[in-house]
Structure 1
Amino acid sequence: MERWKINLGVLWVGTFLQMSGMSMVLPFLSLYIKELGVTDPNEISVWAGLVFSANFVTAFLFQPIWGKLSDRYGRKIMLLRSGFGMAIVNILLGLSTNVWHLLILRLLNGTISGFIPAANALVATNTPKEKSGFALGTLQSGAVSGSIIGPFIGGLLADQFGFRTIFFITGSLLLAATTLTMLVVREKFDVEKAKQEPNVSVLAGFRQIIAFRGIPAMYTVTFITQLALTGTMPLMPVFIEEMHGPVPSLAFYAGLVSSISGFSNVIFAPILGRMGDRFGSEKVLRISLICTGLSFIPQAFVHNVWQLLIVRFLQGLFIGGLMPSVNALIRRNVPDTMISRAFSFNQSFLSLGNLIGPSISGVLSIWVGIRGLFLLSAVLMLLNAIWGSRAIIGHLGNDHADHAAEQSRQ
């Protein structure tokens, strides 16, 4: 097997485990907090929000720092730093004795994160360019699927093994995946050449990256997309109960509804990535944004959980073309010496969407209801498609014209 395919296979497992480990805690987080001694329902809600968001707050702040170091010292060493670090933190989460331990460790977990942007950068720079869309699409399917399927797996394991055991299982799996990365993944990276590049601050590096035409628009598309996709997920149990009344196994059905799009994403993200290689990532991104937006509309009018499952499975097909296309466009328009930072900033905007989406939706649902949230998400995604098409494709079209002119002059 070609080396880039081996790298891709190992890093797919790593990204899936990393994202599923971060989201696996969702179904039982409030129950674990109660087990740690918080008994007042209002306090449990406050602590659950703080503990869940803590990971994304520090990830948003620190990922660009790790991206800068990744461009300077190599992507594989950042993978090992993040993977082994998060494995240890997950094991410690299972040993928490009070809710403050839980909060501090979740903050630490976000601080040492950075596995996914480093994996994206390694795959992007060590894969033939004509295969980069397929490779990044495949890798992204691991990340998206992990974040969506994680809550479903977490709910099942919590019933079988208890809350603490899940953290031990997650930590052990991350340890095994990172060890496999250390032993198998190979990277072509010239450390001495990288050290000759100017050593600029994170903020200066951000200004340099957004100076590339189309990059600010891609970051905005990432943020808005994640905002729309995550906004309705915490309210799924309430929505199912609204349709069916109190039902047995409510947590199971809520986890299944939240996860079903991850299964279709696994299948179609690599296919859409390959289509991006053939027909252009800009076209795949535009179509995926439109179709994802339209797929929110029927969710507002379903009458039972089975209809909701079908629609969300179909939505997962279109989600598979979003982030792989964005990553492929970033790869195309940012030089290799800055690619880790470019992916890290994109991951920061994704973390920001994860952080803000559920909070905004919780407030908006008071006025428009859960069904109204689906319609608002549809409008947001369709506006994202219109604006993104003009901003990204227009800018990239100018870049292609400039490149062609430069080629003719040479």
Structure 2
Amino acid sequence: MATNTIWKKNLYILSIAVFIAGIAFSEIMPFLPLYVASLGNFSHQELNFWSGFIYSGMFIISAITSPWWGKLADKKGRKLMILRASCGMAIAIGAMGLVTNVYQLFALRCLQGLFAGFVSNSNALIATQTPKEKAGQAMGTMASSVTAGTLLGPLIGGFLASVFSYRITFFITGFLLFVTFLMSLFWVKEDNFVVKSTNNIGKTKDVIKQFKSPNLIFGLLITTMIIQAANNSINPIVSLFVKQLLHGNGNVVLISGIIAALPGIATFTVASRFGALGDKIGTHKIIVGGFIGASILFLATAFVQNTIELGVLRFLVGFSDACLFPQVQTMLSKNSPASVTGRVFSWNQSAMYIGNIAGPIIGTTISGLSNYNMVFIVTTFLVLFNFLLFKLNVINNLPVSQD
């Protein structure tokens, strides 16, 4: 068991590190399509294809490789995987500033996906080193930090790209990730990790045998996937919905940016508080509240008449977000043996990436077949379906101590 000093120091260092990583991961997003356009003479259709292909390549590779990295984390240590991810992605992203065509950029995005896992392994290390009664607050703190970094990233990236250039911004992003590598190398300590403890836990079936309730664990993984799909079904159409509500009057780009940032701002302010409350009354109760709140807010959003109403509801959605994804991670940490936590969190990351891929497809398909309002209605039913699965697979299988 880690001492109070060690786990608190790890939490302090890694919360700063994932904040920096959040900035690094998101700051290239605003200009990635523009960078793609600078690498060739593309038609409008070709540019859309390559932008989407290059954007999604990282998530697809990460979803496939994350379980393997998680297995290695349980055998060799989570700190080693943190160092592997931060250094590998620093090199991959930095090298993107040197590419001369879209094929090279796509290959490096895939390489970035191969080395992904910094945040998930940081979460896994915190989960195994933090006392169970403090897990909710700790995971909430980590979620708040990475959310804050992700919010600031596009703003910083846009500023850097305008002051310097796209290529220089990639170099700076790689440097930021190298800083997280150095912070983790010198200041993070994985206390009492024993390599031999997982030598006999190789195959997935052996991992499953370690769970007191496999249905609970896999129910939480499904919950993560659907949460991400629901949230990301909205993201691609926000700016288009704003444009529709403005009726051609107003700054669509500015207002869309503000509204897109509002959920993250709300999540950042309350995630650690909800985590601490979950430690006291039961994390599953916080998640139930999140499902109820999200379903009401998504449904109400389908009937907004102006951007003020949309902004208010999107801000409130951030509070329901804070009740969901961070708290699912907390439940995973509380119900997973330390010997396989790396595997479990890597599965959770894969589930998250699958949701990231499926969500935009759902949103754009529904809006194409119907309208933007229908996207919010369909998302409401998706959240309610998730709630039902959560009740059947998670709440009904909770240990008595957490009921």
Post-superposition offset of 1:198:
0.7
Contact 1:16 1:146 (8 Å CA) reproduced: yes
Gaps of 5+ in 2: none
Mapped contact 2:208–2:214 kept (Cα < 8 A): no
Question: C-alpha displacement at 1:310, in angstroms?
Answer: 2.0
Q: 1:37 aligns with which of 27, 33, 40?
A: 40
Give the corresponding residue for 1:256: 258
Distance in 2 between residues matched to 1:226 and 1:241, nearest whole Å: 24
Please name the residue that 2:188 is paired with.
185
1:136-171 CA-partner distances (Å, limit 9, x unpaired): 111122334444554454344444443223322221
* Contact map agreement 1:236 1:254 (CA 8 A) in 2: yes
Tell me the TM-score normalised to structure 1 length. Answer: 0.91
Q: Which residue of the partner structure matches residue 312 of structure 2?
A: 310
CA distance in 2, matches of 1:136, 1:272: 10
Cα pair 2:22 2:150 within 8 Å, conserved: yes
Please report how far the alpha carbon of residue 260 of structure 1 lies from its aligned counterpart in structure 2 after TM superposition. 1.6
Matches of residues 8-407 of structure 1 in structure 2 within 5 Å?
8-194=11-197, 197-201=199-203, 203-204=204-205, 207-208=208-209, 212-246=214-248, 250-396=252-398, 399-400=399-400
- Greater shift, 85-94 or 104-113, is seen at 85-94
Whether contact under 8 Å (1:71, 1:340) holds in the other structure is yes
> How many percent identity over aligned positions?
33
Paired residue type of 1:387: L
Instruction: Quote how far apart the aligned CAs of 1:228 are.
Output: 0.4
The 10-residue stretch of structure 1 (358-367 or 98-107) with the greater mean CA deviation from structure 2: 358-367
Residue type of the alignment partner of 2:25 = M
Comparing 23-32 and 144-153, the one that deviates more:
144-153
Contact 1:23–1:151 (Cα < 8 Å) also in 2: yes
- Residues 314-348 of structure 1, C-alpha deviations (whole Å, 9 max, x = no match): 11112112122211211222211001101110110
Q: What are the ranges of 5 or more consecutive residues in structure 1 without an aligned counterpart?
A: 405-410
Matched residue, 2:8? 5
Distance, in Å, in 2 between the alignment partners of 1:72 and 1:96 is 36
The 3-state SS of whatever aligns with 2:190 is coil
- TM-score by structure 2 length? 0.92
Instruction: Verify the 8 A CA contact 2:21 2:176 in the aligned structure 1.
Output: no
CA contact (8 A) 1:156 1:252 kept: no
One-letter code aligned to 1:292: A
Contact 1:151–1:255 (Cα < 8 Å) also in 2: no
SS in 2 for 1:189: coil
> 8 Å contact 1:27–1:251 — kept in the other structure?
no
Q: Name the stretch that deviates more: 241-250 or 166-175.
A: 241-250
Distance 2:278 2:354 in 1: 26
* Separation in 1, partners of 2:161, 2:237: 20
Q: Which moved more, 1:116-125 or 1:146-155?
A: 146-155
Residues 78 and 149 of structure 1: CA distance in aligned 2, closer, same or farther (over 3 Å): same
Q: How many residues align?
A: 399
Given the superposition, is the C-alpha separation of residues 260 and 164 from structure 1 closer, same or farther in structure 2, using an over 3 Å criterion? farther
Query: Which shows bigger deviation, 174-183 or 41-50?
Result: 174-183
**1:272–1:320 Cα contact (<8 Å) kept:** yes
Q: Distance in 2 between matches of 1:115 and 1:77?
A: 10
Give the secondary-structure state (helix, strand or coil) at the position aligned to 2:214: coil
Distance 2:185 2:103 in 1: 33
RMSD: 2.2
For 2:194, the aligned partner's letter is V
